[in-house]
Structure 1
Amino acid sequence: MAMACALSSIDKKSSLLTLTAPVKKIGRIAASWGRHAWSIGREDPRRAVHALKAGTALTLVSLLYILEPFFKGIGKNAMWAVMTVVVVLEFNAGATICKGLNRGLGTVLAGSLALLIELVAASAGMVFRAFIVGASVFIIGFAATYTRFFPSIKKSYDYGVLIFLLTFNLITVSSYREHSVLPLTRDRLSTIAIGCTICLFMSLLVLPNWSGEDLHNSTVGKFEGLATSIEGCTACVNEYFRDQDKDSNAPDKQEVKASIQIGYRAVLDSKSSDETLAHYASWEPRHSMHCYSYPWQKYVKLGSVLRYFAYTVAALHGCVESEIQTPLSVRSLFRDPCTRVAREVVKVLQELAVSMKHHRRCAPDVLSDHLHEALQDLNSAIRSQPRLFLGSKHACAANRRMLMELNSGKLSSASRATSLQSCKTDATAAALSETTKPAGAGDQPPERNERSNMLRPTLSKIAVTSLEFFEALPFAAFASLLVEMVVRLELVIEEVKNLERAANFREFTGHDHLAIDLSGRENTRNSNSAALNPVSAAAE
């Protein structure tokens, strides 16, 4: 009996555990989704605010259907107001204004044109009336659809043309069976006007999110992100000039690499968002103190220039992470000038970010003498090691002379001995092992074997000389990208100044210096040109 009770209690516990396991699993899933939702809202609290605004707008517009006085006046057409709120209310005020005005304008034009066609076909018979309705639907449908392919229409009024086409067909086709189309047109216009009014009220007056401010802050964030990427690259550059294999998988280094990629990838992926924000910002009212049209397209052009600059940062990061590297003994010769150039570029980007953030013009001497001196030091360091960049020319001449002598059979034994002695590499050892194989190992004639014994050491010397030159190529690419970064930085500064003039940013004053030494001169750009291509200067 006791045994039976024990077994029954065990069965109850197992069944209880079987039932609670799915409940716990569902609870874990719900908790994970809740944490994910909380992280999205914490990342940008405006998302939660916009969701509250959308819920409030839908509640207000549903009163047209719930309250009896409104329902008697509008009827079932009140659902058009609900649909308008769902479609028109967007996160940014510019997007809401754009879609609201497009929807209102398209509805008004379509209703007016449908009423005009109704007046023309009112006195006709049913057959002729059907012909007029069908012909008008075809002509207007063809014309409206074709205009959607126009770039200017598609960019700004595509949604309005779509609403125009929908409303026109709805009213025109309905008028064939309903002889009184005026109430339908009136109710449609009134409900859409109510829905658009609620959307504009929520977007413009209740914690608005301006597309222009988002575009401006996004541009400032690009400068800061690029500066962070180059700062991370500077840390990687310091490792680049040290032992790169040491602790390469350390967590802090992995975090630095991740921050580098986040910085420049955000710039590279910003083209569509910049164009969209600039388009919606052009619909927004002038919420600044200036009454002129704000140059939002200048931000798009600046973003394009920044993307070209980000390509260089990405390529520089690729050089640092490359599998083929110049020997450490060679890299260490150029450590200081390279890191100085990177640090000075970071300072310039930070100054540009601060100036744009506060709507003031950047310093006239934003390209400082420190950057110029760093370029000159890099140029001098490369000039001091011409063998790295001139070795290919001398090597090619020597190799060509050796091959000519080899082909003519005039290569001396002393030259062959020198070639053998100078090639102490794995490739040479392999070649020598092949030349010392037993005679029976190969089936080649004696003359051919003798020529191969003479040819292999020569080709080994050519390979070693080329290997020395190719070992210098990764650093040559690295130095060229640093210089290219400075050149493209000048283009970025020029575009920033164009934006500042067009947007009437306040003038730069001496109080705007921010712990960045900007004691450059006006001829900095001209003096920089002497150091813009140190690799080619060394080749001269």
Structure 2
Amino acid sequence: MAAPRDRVAAFGGMVWQVGADDPRRMVHGLKVALALALCSLFYYVHPLYDFTGGNAMWAVLTVVVVFEYTVGACLYKGLNRAAATLAGGALALGVHWVASQSGKELQPYVLTGSMFIMAAAATFSRFIPTMKAKFDYGVTVFILTYCLVSVSGYRADEVVFMAQQRLTTIAIGAFICFAVCTLVFPVWAGQELHVLVARNMDKLAAAAEGCVEDYFSDPAAVDAAAGEKPARRALSAKSQGYKQVLNAKASEDSLANLAKWEPGHGKFGFRHPYGQYQKVGAAMRCCAYCIDALAACVGSEAQTPAHIKKHLAGTCLALGRHLATVLREASGCVTSMTRSDRLGLAAADMNATAQELRDKLRCLATVLEEGEDGSPEAEQEHDAVTELRTSPLMEALPLFSAASMLLEVCARAELVIGAVETLATTARFKKADHDEKAALDTEAPVPAASAGNPVDAH
């Protein structure tokens, strides 16, 4: 008895968690119930039933198949269904009239042939990318309506009256869906896309910073003098946010397509550039692919010894923090729909630190090469330089790969900045009204490299 009770408790906890994560899901269920209750009045109220007759069930069916979570999805399906029903019904009535004029013997052949041609052409049109993206559901409803009207009209005497009643009840159901979905706690697809892109940018910033910290923080590593191999490490939860960015393409494309059906609302005008959000998402995925490669360096079996890794740790950690700052500033601009000079200043700091890392990489490579060639030591050089030069160059290759990949992430972050600036221009984001100089003064200073760094000495 304990096992079934535990399963029921676990299922109840999961249901509660789903509602607690987003209370709008519970509200959506109540909205669907409200729309169905309003449509049922056309059965229960006598004057309304006289107006629609037995075809009132089509209004209920319309609510079930049309009502969606976001306003854009509801309008997409509702308008597609209404237009497809009108086009399919009108075309079927025209073919029915032509078939009736051809005589009783030829009428079934005309109806069957027209249905064959229409169904084949409409089904093929669903493979066209533009039709599939915008009117896929409408094409399906068109085929259904045309077949229902043309086939049932062969035996029915009042086919025009039947088509008119069905079209009326479908329009009533669609109108109820639009009214409830738009007026009662609406969920806008455009706003969901806006929040999704900004949230993914924050996750990308945390992942980039976390991967650099994971690579240079080595609590399990042993002393190099012991001669033991550095242990493999796993990514922290903070560093794995880039995976959600890589998997967000389908959601971004779907929300961008649905948002184009929505009317203007709030800060989102009628011609808001939702397509630019897809370009921002594509730029973030380019950056996330490089972060994925950087994350692979963290868990790689080939690890650079800690006494070599420490010579680039300060600069790489500083670059990781600057990179995260740039992405968070870009996310803040998208979230607040403002243009800030802080984004350009943060990008300049990132580029300056990236150039410093390039210089140190060249210096470190020179130091290691001189150590392999057996060049004489200068008397005034630090003892750490002697230790560094005795290390083989092959041990430093994983460090060079990680640092180069970090530089590539910074280069791809520039693409994200460019896409965000294009979005700010096309969407007419307002200028931020905060004091830029005071804001920059409050930022935490980036720790400088140690004066005793042997690479700097070289």
Contact 2:361 2:400 in 1 (8 A): no
Change (3 A) 1:260 1:77: same
Q: Are residues 1:491 and 2:424 paired?
A: no
How far off is 1:63 after superposition? 2.5
Amino acid in structure 2 at the alignment position of 1:380:
D
**Contact (CA 8 Å) 1:340, 1:374: kept in 2 or not?**
yes
| Residues in 2 aligned to 1:98 and 1:386: alpha-carbon distance in whole angstroms | 59
The CA deviation at 1:145 is 1.6
CA distance in 1, matches of 2:323, 2:442: 12
Q: Give the structure 2 partner of residue 406 of structure 1.
A: none
Does structure 2 retain, via aligned residues, the 8 Å contact 1:100–1:196? yes
Change beyond 3 A, Cα 1:149–1:50: same
For the residues of structure 1 that align with 2:116 and 2:167, how far apart are their CA atoms?
Answer: 23
Q: Kindly indicate whether residue 447 of structure 2 is the aligned counterpart of residue 469 of structure 1.
A: no
- Determine whether 1:382 maps to 2:306: no
Say whether residues 1:101 and 2:79 are aligned partners. Answer: yes
Amino acid in the other structure paired with 1:272:
A
Structure 1 pair 169/391, CA: closer, same or farther in 2 (3 Å)? farther
In structure 2, the gaps of 5 or more residues are: 224-229, 375-388, 444-458
1: CA distance, partners of 2:334 / 2:361: 36
Correspondence 1:320 to 2:298: yes
The equivalent of 2:131 in structure 1 is 153
Deviations 1:159-198 (A, max 9, x none): 1111111001100111111122012101210111111011
1:116 matched to 2:94? yes
For residue 280 of structure 2, what is the aligned residue in structure 1?
302
How far apart are the structure 1 equivalents of 2:46 and 2:128?
Answer: 45
Q: Percent identity?
A: 36
Structure 1 outlier segments of 4+, above 6 Å? 391-395
Residues 208 and 239, structure 2, Cα contact 8 Å, conserved in 1 = yes
1:502 matched to 2:413? The reply is: no
Aligned residue identity for 1:339: L
CA gap 1:111/1:372 in 2 versus in 1, 3 angstroms: closer
- Pairwise CA distance, 1:74: 2.6
Task: Give the CA RMSD over aligned residues.
Answer: 2.8
C-alpha change, 1:504 and 1:389, in structure 2 (3 Å) is: farther
Aligned length: 421
The answer to whether the Cα contact below 8 Å between 2:216 and 2:309 also exists between their aligned partners in 1 is no
Query: Could you say which residue in structure 1 is the equivalent of 2:322?
Result: 344
Q: 1:134 to 1:368 in 2, by over 3 A?
A: closer
**CA spacing shift, 1:375–1:243, aligned 2, 3 Å:** farther
Q: Which amino acid aligns with 1:335?
A: A
Partner of 1:269 in structure 2? Answer: 247
| Maintained 8 Å contact 1:171/1:181 | yes
TM-score relative to the length of structure 1:
0.72
Structure 1 residues 91-141: Cα deviation after superposition (integer angstroms, max 9, x where no partner): 110000000000000000111112212222334432121122112112211
Question: Residues 30-70 of structure 1, C-alpha deviation per residue, up to 9 Å, x if partnerless?
Answer: 22211111101111111111111111112222232344443
Task: Report the CA distance between 1:230 and its aligned residue.
Answer: 2.4
Distance 1:223 1:180, change over 3 A: same
After superposition, the Cα gap between the structure-2 partners of 1:290 and 1:339, relative to the gap in structure 1 and judged at 3 Å, is closer
Matched position secondary structure for 1:179: coil
Q: 1:85 aligns with which of 63, 67, 72?
A: 63
| 1:62–1:82 Cα contact (<8 Å) kept | yes
By how many angstroms is 1:382 displaced? Answer: 2.3
1:282 to 242, 255, 260: 260
C-alpha displacement at 1:488, in angstroms?
A: 0.8
CA distance in 2, matches of 1:514, 1:165: 63
Larger Rg: 1
In structure 2, C-alpha distance between the alignment counterparts of 1:84 and 1:161, rounded to whole Å: 16
- 1:216 maps to 2:140: no
Structure 1 gap segments, 5+ residues each:
1-21, 396-464, 520-540
> How far apart, CA to CA, are the structure 1 residues paired with 2:436 and 2:424?
15
